[in-house]
Amino acid sequence: MKYLVTWRERPTGSAAEYEAPHKRVLSVFAAFSFTVEPVMDVMDAVAAENRGIAWRDSLSTT
């Protein structure tokens, strides 16, 4: 499984409040909010979607 990790800086008030976390970012990542999401290769995703469509199409409509 592959994962995509994204982060963004948290908004802060003054310039001093913005700079303070940057001094520690390499050791504690205090200034970032992280999101980790599992991702799939495109070909794997297409294959999974095709299997889902085939299953759905196999259901009876009665």
Predicted confidence (pLDDT) per residue in 14-44, tens digit: 777 777 777 776 666 675 677 888 888 889 9
Question: Would you state the pLDDT for residue 62?
Answer: 67
Q: Tell which residue, 42, 46, 30, has the closest CA to residue 2.
A: 42
Whether 18 and 12 have beta carbons less than 8 Å apart is answered as: yes
Q: Which two tokens stand for residue 59?
A: 């259901």
Whether 5 and 39 have beta carbons less than 8 Å apart is answered as: no
Domain count, the chain: 1
**pTM of the complete model:** 0.41
Question: Would you state the pLDDT for residue 14?
Answer: 79
Q: Which residue has the tokens 């940057």?
A: 22
Question: Would you state the pLDDT for residue 26?
Answer: 64
29: domain range?
A: 2-58
